[in-house]
């Protein structure tokens, strides 16, 4: 009787095990749209999670230049952490710890009237010039980071000490960002770059496009 029962169990689970094995061997396209989307999300999240700088938690500009981290790219990484939590790639607590590391680093990193540079050193937060005249605040790259941080502030809405700390620190940095400075003496436009060494030498107003 025991042998018969075991044979029944094996017969029941074998097809499912074989199906799972075959599913793993399929290409992402063969596995279907849902599997493909999950794979893309996992791989994207994995880059920002696994290759993050060990001190700052920010994303490297390239894996070949791991000490140079990028503010705009790290903004996408911040959003990827939220996706990772929602998809179960990491826990909420893991995401919270990483984001606190990032925010605590940004609080002390170089900034110019509240705006971060395009690149910085991942361990010190010191500016790494992006170009000969681009060695100060980068409004567009910082905007990508802010989009991520503001989403983080809304997402971590629980009444726990760490989540309150994260929200508060993001709020402090947001309120201390001098957006008016980047209007270049009150013009009706925002300027992309400002440097304490080069001033407004980049001379790059941020404008949208209009359809004729």
pTM of the model: 0.83
pLDDT above 60 for 144: yes
Outline where DSSP puts E strands in the chain: 68-70, 119-121, 127-128, 137-138, 190-191, 193-194, 205-206
- List all residues 6 or more positions away from 168 whose beta carbon is below 8 Å from its beta carbon: none
Q: Which residue did the predictor score with more confidence, 9 or 1?
A: 1
Confidence of residue 15 (pLDDT cuts 50, 70, 90): very low
Q: Which residue did the predictor score with more confidence, 19 or 177?
A: 177
Q: Residues 192-197: what's their mean pLDDT?
A: 97
* Percent of the chain whose predicted confidence (pLDDT) is above 90: 78
User: Which tens digits make up the pLDDT trace of 39-91?
Assistant: 999 999 999 999 999 999 999 998 888 999 999 999 999 999 999 999 999 99
How far is 194 from 113, CA to CA, in rounded Å?
9
Lookup: tokens for 87: 């998809």
Q: Residues 172-192: what's their mean pLDDT?
A: 96
Q: Which residue did the predictor score with more confidence, 119 or 211?
A: 119
């Amino acid at each position: 009787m025991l042998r018969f029962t075991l044979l029944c169990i094996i017969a029941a689970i074998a097809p499912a095990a074989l199906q799972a094995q075959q599913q793993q061997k399929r290409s992402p396209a063969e596995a279907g749209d849902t599997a493909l989307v999950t794979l893309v999300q996992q791989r994207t999240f994995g880059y920002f999670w696994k290759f993050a700088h060990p001190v700052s938690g920010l994303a490297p500009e390239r894996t070949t230049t791991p000490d140079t981290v990028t503010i705009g790219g790290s903004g996408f990484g911040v959003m990827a952490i939220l996706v990772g939590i929602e998809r179960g790639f990491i826990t909420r607590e893991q995401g919270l710890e990483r984001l606190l590391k990032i925010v605590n680093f940004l609080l002390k990193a170089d900034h110019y009237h509240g705006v971060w540079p395009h690149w910085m050193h991942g361990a010190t937060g010191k500016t790494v010039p992006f170009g000969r005249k681009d060695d100060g605040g980068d409004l567009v790259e910082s905007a990508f980071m802010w989009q991520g941080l503001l989403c983080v502030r809304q997402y971590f809405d629980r009444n726990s000490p760490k989540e309150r700390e994260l929200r508060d620190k993001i709020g402090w940095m947001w309120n201390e960002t001098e957006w008016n400075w980047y209007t270049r003496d009150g013009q009706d436009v925002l300027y992309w770059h400002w440097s304490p060494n080069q001033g407004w030498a980049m001379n790059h107003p941020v404008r949208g496009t209009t359809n004729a």
